[in-house]
Amino acid sequence: MRAMSENLTDLDPETRAQRAEEALAQALRERNELWAELQTRNAQDRQLEHQRRVIEAMQSSVSWRITSPLRLVKRAGGPLGVLHKLLAKLGRR
């Protein structure tokens, strides 16, 4: 960056115009980068919201609610896992 002590009014008009164009070009590049980041973020937000709606619809479906016990058994390690945990609880009593 140029020295801050340099007085722009001391420069010839052509140099001042060139520096103004450089500053404008830099500002436009920065604006374009920020705009692109915003558009990417907006697209990601829309995609995330869509995925949330898909999951919500799936989890509120009849088939999801009907198969809930099966998922619980699977998480517990299958039928043998459920039996093992049940026996372990009974053994503690």
Residue 86 confidence (pLDDT) above 70: yes
Which one, of 40, 38, 8, 37, lies nearest residue 22 by Cα?
A: 8
Q: Which two tokens stand for residue 40?
A: 């990417």
pLDDT at 83: 78
The model's pLDDT over 51-69, given as tens digits with 9 standing for 90+, comes to 999 999 999 999 999 998 8
Whole-angstrom CA distances from 84 to 14, 56, 67, 77 are 86, 33, 22, 9
C-alpha neighbours within 13 Å on the C-beta side of residue 51: 6
pTM equals: 0.55
* Rounded Cα–Cα distance for residues 12 and 77 (Å): 81
pLDDT at 14: 92
